[in-house]
Amino acid sequence: MRTVLFVDDEQPILNALGRIYLERDDVRCMFAASGQEGLKIMEQEEVWVVVSDYLMPSMRGIEFLSKVKNHWPHTVRIMMTAFADLSIAIDAINKSEAFRFITKPWNNHELTETIDEALMRYQLIKSLGSKDETVYLSLAQAIELKDHYTKGHCDRVAHYAVALARSAGLEQSQIEEIKYGSWLHDCGKIGVPERVLNFPGSLNVDDMESLMQHPRWGSEVARQAKMSETVINVILYHHERFDGTGYPSGLKGYEIPLEARIVAIADVFDALYSDRPYRKAYSFERTIDIMHEMTDTHFDPNLVELFLMLAEREVRINE
């Protein structure tokens, strides 16, 4: 059962948090009035997400969440505080690796959205650790439900990337890892609000910054689940550009791992050739033209030339 543990020394706060989930039967809520009580619950129950107050007597929230990190590293940790202090947020991130930082008074919708994302993150970490490829694809499909315009995107990207990797002469073992990375390349979108993913226009600066964090968030989950370096590279670097203007690291040219360069081409091709919230799909001919135009800035020129030949050949076969 998906379990959330709320830890706060003020009973009215715990009561208010409990009321939020009163009508939901898909989440089990547990409550503790102190860090010590919370640790005892953690020892007895599988807790997916823990939400802890910062300022509590005898054991501060950061100390409590740090202990949770050390003993139950997969449990997703959220800090809640009435003190919106940057140093507290930095402490929470550095010492306890908190997933999110929530200030009181909270917005109920934003709180439940954050907790739902944290629950999905826990499920993702646990499932990726299973090393079962059917689980990988199922998870990719579940993540796509957040972004309605990307249904089938991960599977199509994997199809294109595998074809390109095979034509580039990569070994079968690496091709398999590229397939898994393609399925999971957008797994970091669990940390991006649905309103951002489905916004039908240009995003503001803050929302764009949130969206641009998804490669880092996804790669952290994959690394925590002890996935291969190839899969992690695909997730982390698939938005890097050959001219160095991509994100999150601004890698340039052949600094970008080969597997990420391959998936980047497949990802952009499918994005252009599919409907998006802000536009309809381009025709195949226009998609090819745009890919050619982007070659100098976005793509490994040798790989994209090989890919476009493959794409045109496949379209001719299917005509």
Where does a domain end: 95, 122, 149?
A: 122
Q: Please report whether residue 206 resides in a domain.
A: yes
User: Which two three-digit tokens encode residue 83?
Assistant: 């003190």
Where does a domain end: 122, 142, 173?
A: 122
Q: How many other C-beta atoms can be found within 10 angstroms of the C-beta atom of residue 192? A: 20
**Containing domain of residue 151, as a range?**
133-318
Cα-flanking dihedrals φ and ψ of residue 99, to 5°? -75, -40
Contact between 185 and 263 (Cβ < 8 Å): yes
Q: Please report whether residue 78 resides in a domain.
A: yes
Contact between 277 and 200 (Cβ < 8 Å): yes
* Same domain? 115 vs 157: no
Q: Please report whether residue 222 resides in a domain.
A: yes
CATH number at residue 60: 3.40.50.2300
Question: Is there a catalytic annotation at residue 179?
Answer: no
* Same domain? 77 vs 96: yes
Contact between 125 and 172 (Cβ < 8 Å): no
CA-CA distances (angstroms) from residue 1 to 30, 31, 67, 123? 12, 16, 23, 11
User: In angstroms, rounded to a whole number, what is the distance separating the alpha carbons of residues 25 and 258?
Assistant: 45
Which DSSP string do the residues of 108-166 spell out, in sequence order? HHHHHHHHHHHHHHHHHHHHHTT--HHHHHHHHHHHHTTSGGGTTHHHHHHHHHHHHHH
* Same domain? 99 vs 142: no
pLDDT tens, the chain, 319 aa long: 899 999 999 999 999 999 998 888 899 999 999 999 999 999 999 999 999 998 899 899 989 999 999 999 999 999 998 876 667 667 666 777 888 888 889 999 889 989 998 998 898 888 888 777 888 888 787 777 766 556 788 889 999 999 999 999 999 999 999 999 999 998 888 777 777 676 666 777 777 777 788 899 899 889 988 899 999 999 999 999 999 999 999 999 999 999 999 999 999 999 998 876 666 888 999 999 999 999 989 999 999 999 999 988 876 555 4
Predicted local confidence at residue 256, as pLDDT: 98
Q: Please report whether residue 224 resides in a domain.
A: yes
Q: Please report whether residue 128 resides in a domain.
A: no
* Same domain? 248 vs 281: yes
CATH number at residue 293: 1.10.3210.10
* Same domain? 42 vs 190: no
* Same domain? 50 vs 192: no
Q: Please report whether residue 144 resides in a domain.
A: yes
Q: Please report whether residue 264 resides in a domain.
A: yes
Q: Please report whether residue 165 resides in a domain.
A: yes
* Same domain? 115 vs 195: no
Closest to 144 (Cα-Cα) out of 98, 97, 194: 194
* Same domain? 147 vs 292: yes
* Same domain? 170 vs 283: yes
* Same domain? 105 vs 181: no
* Same domain? 96 vs 159: no
Where does a domain end: 100, 122, 144?
A: 122
Domain total for the chain? 2
Q: 39-43 — which CB contacts under 8 Å span 24+ positions?
A: 39/64, 39/67, 39/68, 41/5, 42/5, 42/68, 42/71, 42/72, 42/75
pTM of the model: 0.78
* Same domain? 107 vs 162: no
Which one of 95, 189, 226, 280 is the catalytic residue? 189
